[in-house]
């Protein structure tokens, strides 16, 4: 079965709100083994909506619409779909009473235009709305299915889960199981070469790699009868990939790198503190976004200026003068000062040039051309030093990151977390 999601609302076309409904519905339809080949958006215009609906019905088995079911004049979805499919609108007494009871419950008067929400296409199956006044409905005609849902996610999601999902589950008799493998520390091309034979031999399950902000995600998907069968089909493929990628594969359940690291340090009861310069608190923010981190996260220092590095972390003024704020020497002194002050088992210090505001015109730098150099230090934008401490052992790495300011900061944090993760794993192996 193929499906198309048709979102209705001029506010979507104007960029006033995001179409999160399409993302949610695509994922849930995928869970049912229903292929979504098209997403469409159309404004609150009857003629254009009719044209979009005809196109969708011509190329898909099922069309799910969101939006346009409200009481106002520009809510045209139900009326337009009924007209397009040659169906009359009839008042549903149960829906009418439900709307009436809703307004009585909130102590507000039901207006005349609310009554239009009680009309549905003749023969349609009603989708109850327990969180609003706009019911949805399902139409089956001429081998095609149209599902109408309201636009607000707080109404649409429960309606889909409570009524539409069970309805579709009975019709498909199958599901699609997926696992998201997360990889860091290896580029997409290199990773693909390591598993190219596994990808080439795929049929069911299928393997699809893609990149997002410096991380590689590999989706392994199986079409099968139920979730248990999906597990049995997917797990052997994951193990083959794990053998090839080793510790670069950090999650098989789609977790973020910070989630994996926080889980590790909580399990090992490893207290942690951080000292940040160019990342400006981003690393601490990533950590505290993970529930439960309060058990192990001690404190963080944002030492953006040289004075802060000296006063808060005890970095030597001579080090800053001789080597600069962005140097291996400074990163190590930041780390040592951090551990002295906090006494945590683990610590991370980051210093670098995020760019591009401190970058000058491109100048030669060895065999390549750098994207820019700091006017103050002559060091290139994207140069970052990360020092990591764990139970008496220390690692310090120099990175040359590309991209804009946000990407350099983001990638600095991911690299720092990954270094700590690997240090913990190497300790476990001994």
Residue-wise DSSP of 95-149: HHHHHHHHHHHTT-PPPGGGGGGGEEETTPEEE--TTSS--EEEEEETTEEEEEE
CATH code for the domain of 110: 3.40.980.10
Q: Are residues 198 and 132 in the same domain?
A: no
Return the pLDDT at 139. 96
Q: Which token pair is 387?
A: 């020092």
Into how many domains does the chain fold? 3
Confidence of residue 372 (pLDDT cuts 50, 70, 90): very low
Note whether 323 and 357 are same-domain residues.
Answer: yes
**Parent domain of 306:** 257-429
Q: What is the pLDDT of residue 359?
A: 42
**Domain boundary at 172, 196, 214, which?**
172
Q: CB of 358 within 8 A of CB of 375? A: yes
Whether 83 shows a pLDDT value over 80: the answer reads yes
pLDDT mean across residues, the chain: 89
The last residue of a domain, from among 198, 229, 251: 251
At residue 264's C-alpha, the angle toward residues 425 and 295, to 5°, is 145
Averaged pLDDT for residues 51-79: 91
pLDDT tens track for 126-139: 999 888 878 899 99
Q: By the 8 A CB rule, do 365 and 373 touch?
A: yes
Co-location of 246 and 263 in the same domain: no
User: 181, 235 in Cβ contact below 8 A?
Assistant: no
Residue 366: pLDDT band with limits 50, 70, 90: very low
* CATH code assigned at 322: 3.90.950.20
Least-confidence region, from 66-70, 260-264, 278-282: 66-70
391 and 359 housed in the same domain:
yes
Same domain, 283 and 418: yes
Residues 104 and 231 in one domain: no
Position 430 scores a pLDDT of: 59
Phi, psi of 201 (to 5 degrees): -90, 5
User: Are residues 223 and 261 both part of a single domain?
Assistant: no
Query: Considering the chain, what percentage of its residues have pLDDT values greater than 70?
Result: 95
Query: The domain that contains 200 carries what CATH number?
Result: 3.30.70.2860
216 and 289, same domain (yes or no)? no
The pLDDT value given to residue 94: 85
Residues 205, 327, single domain; the answer is: no
Are both 22 and 164 inside the same structural domain? yes
Is 35 found in the same domain as 20?
yes
Domain boundary among the residues 251, 275, 297 is at 251
Q: Per-residue pLDDT for 62 more than 70?
A: yes
> Residue 362 above 60 pLDDT?
no
Q: Which of 229, 242, 228, 232 is nearest to 198 (CA)?
A: 242
Q: Is 107 left (phi over 0), alpha (psi -120 to 50) or beta?
A: left
* Same domain, residue pair 101 and 179: no
């Amino acid at each position: 079965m193929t499906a198309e999601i048709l979102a209705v609302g001029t506010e979507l076309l104007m960029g006033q709100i995001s179409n999160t409904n399409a993302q949610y519905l695509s994922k849930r339809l995928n869970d049912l083994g229903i292929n979504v080949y098209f997403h469409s958006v159309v404004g609150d215009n009857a003629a254009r909506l009719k044209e979009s609906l005809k196109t969708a019905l011509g190329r898909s088995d099922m069309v799910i619409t969101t939006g346009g079911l409200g009481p106002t004049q520009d809510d045209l979805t139900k009326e337009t779909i009924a007209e397009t499919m040659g169906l009359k609108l009839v008042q549903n007494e149960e829906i009418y009473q439900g709307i009436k009871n809703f307004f009585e419950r909130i102590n507000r008067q039901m207006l005349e235009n609310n009554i239009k929400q009680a009309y549905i296409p003749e023969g349609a199956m009603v989708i109850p709305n327990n969180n609003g006044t706009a019911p949805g409905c399902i139409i089956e005609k001429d081998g095609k299915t149209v599902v109408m849902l309201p636009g607000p996610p707080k109404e649409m999601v429960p309606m889909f889960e409570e009524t539409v999902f069970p309805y579709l589950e009975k019709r498909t008799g199958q599901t699609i199981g997926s696992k998201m493998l997360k990889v860091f520390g290896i580029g997409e091309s290199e990773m693909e070469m390591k598993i190219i034979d596994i990808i080439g031999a795929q049929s069911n399950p299928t393997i699809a790699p893609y990149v997002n902000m410096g991380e590689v995600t590999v989706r392994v998907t199986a079409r099968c009868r139920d979730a248990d069968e999906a597990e049995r089909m997917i797990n052997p493929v994951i193990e083959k990939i794990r053998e090839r990628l080793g510790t670069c594969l950090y999650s098989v359940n789609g977790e973020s790198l910070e989630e994996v690291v926080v889980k590790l340090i909580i399990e090992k009861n490893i207290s942690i503190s951080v000292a940040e310069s160019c990342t400006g608190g981003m690393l601490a923010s990533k950590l505290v976004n993970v529930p439960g981190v309060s058990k192990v996260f001690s404190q963080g220092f944002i030492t953006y200026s040289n004075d802060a590095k000296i006063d808060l972390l005890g970095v030597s003024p001579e080090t800053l003068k001789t080597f600069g704020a962005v140097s291996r020497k400074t990163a190590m002194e930041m780390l040592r000062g951090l551990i002295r002050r906090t006494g945590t088992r683990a610590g991370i210090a980051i210093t670098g040039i995020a760019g591009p505001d401190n970058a000058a015109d491109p100048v030669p730098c060895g065999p390549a051309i750098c994207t820019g150099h700091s006017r103050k230090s002559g060091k290139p934008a994207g140069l970052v030093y990360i020092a990591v401490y764990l139970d008496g052992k220390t690692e310090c790495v120099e990175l040359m990151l590309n991209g804009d300011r946000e990407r350099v900061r983001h990638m600095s944090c991911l690299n720092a977390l990954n270094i700590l993760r690997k240090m913990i794993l190497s300790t476990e192996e001994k």
